[in-house]
Amino acid sequence: MKNLEKNIDPFESIQKILKKSCDILNVSCDLYEILKEPQRVIEVNIPVKMDNGKIKIFRGYRSQHCDVIGPFKGGIRFHQNVNRNEIKALSMWMSLKCSANHLPYGGAKGGIVVDVNELSENELEKLSRGYVREIYKYIGDRFDIPAPDVNTNEKIMAWMLDEYINLTGNNNIATFTGKSLEFGGSYGRREATGVGVSHITRESLKKLDIDIKKSKIAIEGFGNVGSNTALSLQKMGANIVSISEFDKEYGVYTIYNEEGFDVEDLVSYFEKNKSLLNYENKKFLVEKEFSSLDVDVLIPCALENSITEENAKNVKAKLIVEGANGPVNYMADKILEEKNVIIVPDILANAGGVIASYFEWIQNISGMDMTKDEVLNRLEYKILFAYDGILKTREKYNVSLRLASYIYSVERIYKSLKLRSRI
C-alpha cells in the first residue's frame, strides 16, 4: 500500500492523540506541554567520501523525547524519506511503547536521509561511522541506546559500535542493541518483533472468537518483521494468504494464495532472490486490492501511513495489527473505528523488538546470557502483561484500543514525572 496521503504528518497525528489522552486522564495541562515535543532533536550533516572520490553530504537526525522513566532508547533508520518530523514522531512513539510495556526507557529515534540501494558497502560503512562521529557525545548505555530500524541491521550496528568505542575508548557494548551474536547480541532478538506481533494477533483473534487455525491473514512487508510474523503465525496454525512487498524496479506488488502459503518456502525464496515477483505458487493482485482482501487480519509491517483515508474505506478485515510504526493514519483510524475494525496499535503490537533489546542490554551489563527460549518466553510474558493492562484501561474509559494504549502509557509517564517532582 502506498503512502497515498503524504500531507498527513505523523508528528501532528501523534500530538492529537496524545492531547486526547491527557484530556481523558484529566491531569495537569502541563503534562501535554511536557510531552508534545522531544527534549532534544539533533540534526547533523555527515560528509562521506564516495567511491568516485567526491564528497557527498548526508543529513542525519537523532530525536530524544523523554527520559523520565529511564535512558533514551530507539532505532536508527536509513531511508530517502526520513525527515525531522518523522523522527520526532517516532521518538514519541518509542516513549509511549517503552512505558506501555513497563521498560525502564524513554523514547528516541534516529535516521539518515539516504537510499541505501545507491551506496556501495564501503560507502555504507563510511556513512554509518560518520553518523556516530556526529552524535557520539549524546549516546551511551545509560543515556541513549540506539538499535536497528528500517534498512539498518546487525552489521551496521557493529560498525557504529566499533566507531563509538574508537571515539570514546569506552568498550561498553551495551551502548547499542540489535547486534550480532558475535558482538554481544542476544539470541531471539532478530525474531522478536515478529514473534511479539504474532502473540498479540493470536490473543486478539481469541477476543473475537476466531479460531487461529481457520483464520486468513495478509501481511504487508516481508522484511525482518513481516517474515518472522508470518513464520510465527504459521507455527500457531494461521493461514498466511497474501504478502505485499516492494521491488525497486517493479514497485509495490501483492501475491495471493487462497489456500495459504508455505511460509518457510517463501522466506527461503525471498532470501535467495530478494523478491517474490517470480515465486510460482501465487497469483498477482493489483496494489489496491491488498487493503480490500476478504481476510480476518491485516498486518502492516512496512512504513507509516500505509493505510489511509482512501483505502481504509475498502478494508474488510476484522482486525488490524500494527507491525510497523504508524501504518494507520489519523483519518483512516476514525473510518476504521466507525466500521468496528479492531486496531491493535503499534506501541503494543510491535514492542517485541524493544523488549528483546532490553534483554540484550541487561545481558551486556550483567555479563549473564539468556537462551533463545528464555528471551522469547519472557517477551511473551511482558507483552501480554501490557496487553492485559491496556484492555482493562479500554474497559475503564470505554475507548478504542489505540486510545487505551496511549492513556495507559501516558498515565505511567505522568506518575514518574510526579515522583521526580518534574510536574
At 258, give phi and psi (nearest 5°). -60, -30
pTM for this prediction: 0.92
CB 306, CB 284: distance < 8 Å: no
- Pairing of the two strands 319-321 and 283-285: unpaired
The position carrying cell 504459521 is 234
CB atoms within 10 A of CB 36: 14
Nearest partner of 38 among 100, 102, 103, 110, judged by Cα: 110
Catalytic entry in 97, 109, 179, 382: 109
pLDDT in tens, 258-275: 999 999 999 999 999 989
CA distance 410 to 404: 10
Q: Is the pLDDT of residue 167 over 90?
A: yes
CB 59, CB 45: distance < 8 Å: yes
pLDDT in tens, 48-105: 999 999 999 999 999 999 999 999 999 999 999 999 999 999 999 999 999 999 999 9
Q: Is the pLDDT of residue 362 over 70?
A: yes
10 Å CB burial of residue 210 (0-12, 13-18, 19+) is: middle
pLDDT in tens, 313-332: 999 999 999 999 889 988 89
Is 109 in the active site?
yes
Question: Residue 2 — pLDDT band, cuts 50, 70, 90?
Answer: very low
